[in-house]
Structure 1
Amino acid sequence: MEDLEVSKKLEDNIRKISGILPVQESFDIIQRNMEIGGRKGTFYFIDGFTKDESMLKIMDSFFHIKPEDMPDDATAFAEKNVPYVEVDILGNFDEIVKNILSGVTCLFIEGYEACVAIDCRTYPARSVEEPEKDKSLRGSRDGFVETIVFNTALMRRRIRDENLIMEMSEVGKSTRTDVAICYMADRVDQEMLQNIRKKLADIHVDDLRMNQQSLAEALFKRKWFNPFPKFKFTERPDTAAACLLEGKIIFLVDNSPSALVVPTSIFDMIEEANDHYFPPITNIYLKVSRAIITVLTIFVVPLFLLLMQNPQWVPKAFDFVVVRDTVNVPLIYQILILELAIDGLRLAALNTPSMLSTPLSVIAGIVMGEFSVQSGWFNSEVMLYMAFVSVANYTQPNFELGYALKFMRLLLLILTAVFNLVGFVIGCVIVIWCICVNKTLSGKSYLNVKLP
């Protein structure tokens, strides 16, 4: 556009807005003309983003303004004649268009070389309720929603401290997605904060189509061969508040009902909301139990396969673990088929209507369990260990970490099946190497993130 500044002539401003926004083509971009204090005025707003009651009261007050009450500039008009809290004066069309598309009502008045932006917007939002996955036995029952302002308010409600800072920025040329960086100024690592600010400012993407996941990928270019997650996601405001008080940084992205936490170690990944609500001894027991089960999900099935390939290594006290039944399908193929079948059942459960999920799960369990063993495809011992692994994956709340552990287990299984003990040892070394060399967003170790 040739001139980005607002003109005193209303016709020029209308022409510029019409040249930028498809006012005539889009039914939801509303232009409302009215007379205010003897001068011509024009409102621009998005239908569905404006609070009707607030706008009716504001417009009613404008009808009662007399010509002699009209000041000489937009700033004085906003201070004297706009009966609303959130009012801003904009003189640049780029800012004006961004505000209109964000839901802010913009008012142009003949003779004013600026636009009056009235932020009486409201976004369609669901109620604040507990997340489906990240539940707590004794904690609060609220959770983040898709509106960023609601999410910041949920954390402000818990931390009434002047050191809680929430910086707002935009990412994405087309989407202009609002991203809030939340931190405690007296507890955060300042070097890491500056590094994150620089990374955020250097992001040049067209859009954040997948919200936080797109932001995470833009912030940190992960190595494709290392599946361990770099970030922790939580839908609970109490967990996010606890992370802030520990000195961590929280990213909130508009249209996303979860918070992105950095920096994150593997110990943070296996932590859940219930850990904050129990006494220390119970908390420690739950964390240790979860850590042990997490390790077992990686090693128990490959170790079973290794012992079945070398039954002479099994101590007499554990002789009962040896497969006695006829093995029609090699054990490695049985395990790999079940790994794929478990993911198939999980995907089917996600797309099954809730009223049918329970009966279909029972049918699938009976068919996959009983009849598959009787038909000779699988041995009961393999079914037992794979059932343990599939259930144990749900002991830790991080979905990405669950699949990272699965990939490590598959690697161990294949190496063990091909190279026997040497393959098992090499697989263990690779698993430990992937964890040790994984770096967080701050560049520190994945195993130990030191906070101030």
Structure 2
Amino acid sequence: MNEKISGELQLNINRLNQTLFVGKNYDLKYRTLHVGGKDLCVYFIDGFLDDHTMERLMETFLTIKNEDMPETPHEFSKKYIPYGSVSLADDYEKIITAILSGISCLFIDGYEEAIMIDCRNYPMRGVEEPVKDRVLRGSRDGFVETIAFNTALIRRRIRSPELVMEMLYVGEKSQTNVVISYLDSRVDHEFLDKLRKRINDIEVDSLTMNSQSLAECLYQYPWYNPFPKYKFSERPDTAAACILEGNVVILVDNSPSAMITPSSVFDIIEEADDYYFPPVTGSYLRLTKFLVNFTSMAITPVWLLLMQNSVLVPEWLKFIMINEMINVPLIYQFLILEVAIDGLHLAAVNTPNMLTTPLSIMAALVLGDLSVSSGWFNSEVMLYMAFVAIANYSQPNFELAYAFKFMRMITLVLTAIFNVWGFVIGWIITIAAIVFNKTIAGRSYLYPLFPFNLRQFLKRFIRVRLPHNDKGLR
């Protein structure tokens, strides 16, 4: 049962000072004043407070005379707090959560309710274009770590009263703000109710890794299936487009990524550039992306299979055969390079900008020319792995790119061990991992291929001109 605050100011101060460790926390402060014949106290966190707004409120409080002091906190807030976001609360748990969220809470002697004044001013970076989700044409803004600004970026694009931004709280200790955003007339309300219940039922201390922590709590799918259940985007235009299509967008405070659900594999592969160009160009880019991703999964296992069975190579493909001496078995070459590419990726991420050029030169020399001339790798293997490395960066979703990578490595190992049957088994495992996967809504991961919907299936591959009354953006 929630404990109510007292009408005696000193008791409230003693309780809050003890609970919030006010003497130990340098940034958690309180200020007492005597106005209108009564004592008052305001709690706030230094760093979250809009000093200008609070200064003007304090100036107003000091002008209150004894005879003008209202009898109730509701009258006080109406008369002396000319600020848009003001509410009342009477239980300690809610008040403490509000203070730790950056809301200033005002206690007045004799009042059995606290006045919560939302004059927060969170530190934040600019809404510049995200590094990963860049586009050749289109808007250049992106989500930031402050949830209020992220919802505003979506509101700017969808000016409809049907757009709902529903606030929930997750984490027993962190009380992290989570917003589910949807268009009330287009969302699947049955799925929305299940999603809301899942979020409310989460039992965790905090969302340490923000969106990823929430994703793992929402849907605890088998760890051995690497294909992602969500589409993540740092672009407000992409999130707004998905909301208009009937999806639910989940925003987590302190995270610049929006979770879009439910998402099939075709939704995850799509990106904003598909729609920022005319239909012909957009269709070409989309088909190229599908082709490159499929080829990146198939090219190395197919080539390894042909090298192990040279009789299968037709005469017109004889040029793909290796002419040099093979010092290291081909399967080991492929696996070493798969790991080496990830090592270079990690090195590039952790290398200061001023050193990226020397790192690139060393990688090109050591893993390129010298690795071939030393006999560790064959030039054909380097060629195909270079294509795979480039193809991985054509995939806008990191999780899906790594899912393809894991399936490719499994197929390579099985092909090396069991030859043709291993190649077949590897592709069966890959197809099964996709076919038996489900979205968070329990639907097929391959919709609209299964269950088959011809109109929606063609839209996934062919970018068409959108009619003015089309409710979807695909």
TM-score interval, normalised by the smaller of the two chains: over 0.9
SS of the equivalent of 2:393 reads helix
Alpha-carbon distance between aligned partners in 2 of 1:441 and 1:329, rounded to the nearest angstrom: 44
Match of 1:238 in 2: 237
**Partner SS, residue 428 of structure 1:** helix
Deviation larger for 13-22 or 219-228: 13-22
What is the one-letter code of the residue matched to 1:353? P
**Is the CA contact 2:415–2:422 (under 8 Å) kept in the aligned structure 1?**
yes
Deviation at 1:396, TM superposition (A): 1.2
Decide whether the 8 Å contact of 1:306 with 1:416 is kept in 2: yes
Matched, 1:70 2:69: yes
Q: Residue 395 of structure 1: SS of its match in structure 2?
A: coil
What do residues 355-414 of structure 1 show as CA deviations (whole Å, max 9, x unaligned)? 110221122112211011111111000000000000000111000111100100000000
- Does 2:193 match 1:194? yes
- 1:151-230 equivalent positions in 2, closer than 5 A: 151-230=150-229
Structure 2 counterparts to residues 363-442 of structure 1, below 5 A: 363-442=362-441
Partner of 1:56: 55
Q: How far 1:13 moved relative to its partner? A: 1.0
1:253: how far off?
A: 0.2
Kindly report which structure 2 residues correspond to 1:15-164, keeping only aligned pairs within 5 A, or say none.
15-164=14-163
Any idea what SS the aligned residue of 1:247 has? coil
Q: Is the 8 Å Cα contact of residues 229 and 439 (structure 2) preserved in structure 1?
A: yes
Deviating runs (4+, > 4 A) in structure 1? 449-452
- State the match for 1:337 in structure 2: 336
CA contact (8 A) 1:271 1:396 kept: no
> Residues of 1 paired with 2:421 and 2:84: CA distance?
70
Partner SS state of residue 246, structure 2 = coil
Amino acid at match of 2:101: S
- Asked if the contact 1:440–1:446 (Cα under 8 Å) also holds between the matched residues in 2, the reply is yes
8 Å CA contact 2:2, 2:93 repeated in 1: no
Q: Give CA-to-partner distance per residue, 1:240-295, whole Å, 9 cap, x none.
A: 00010111000000000010000111111111111121112221211111111111
Identify the residue that residue 316 of structure 1 maps to in structure 2.
315
- What displacement does 1:8 show? 1.4
Q: Distance in 2 between matches of 1:37 and 1:280?
A: 68
AA matched with 2:370: F
Q: Give the 3-state SS of the residue equivalent to 1:112 in structure 2.
A: coil
- Aligned-pair distance for 1:425? 0.5
The alignment's TM-score, normalised by the length of structure 2, stands at 0.94
Give me the whole-angstrom Cα distance separating, in 1, the residues matched to 2:367 and 2:22: 58
CA contact (8 A) 1:155 1:240 kept: yes
CA contact (8 A) 2:2 2:91 kept: no
2:414 and 2:423 in contact (8 A); partners too: yes
The aligned residue for residue 262 of structure 1 is 261
Number of corresponding residues: 451
User: 2 CA distance for matches of 1:346 and 1:137?
Assistant: 23
User: So what's the TM-score if we normalise by structure 1?
Assistant: 0.98
Give identity over the alignment, percent. 55
- Cα distance in 2 for residues equivalent to 1:139 and 1:8: 56
What is the alpha-carbon distance in structure 2 between the residues aligned to residue 127 and residue 3 of structure 1?
40
User: 1:122 corresponds to which letter in structure 2?
Assistant: N
Residue 27 of structure 1 deviates from its aligned partner by 1.0
1:267-278 equivalent positions in 2, closer than 5 A: 267-278=266-277
RMSD of Structure 2 on Structure 1 (CA) = 1.2
CA distance in structure 2 between the aligned counterparts of 1:36 and 1:448, rounded to whole angstroms:
65
Question: Take 1:440 and 1:28, find their aligned partners in 2: how far apart are those partners?
Answer: 43
8 Å Cα contact 1:272/1:396 also seen in 2? no
Q: Deviation at 1:3?
A: 7.4
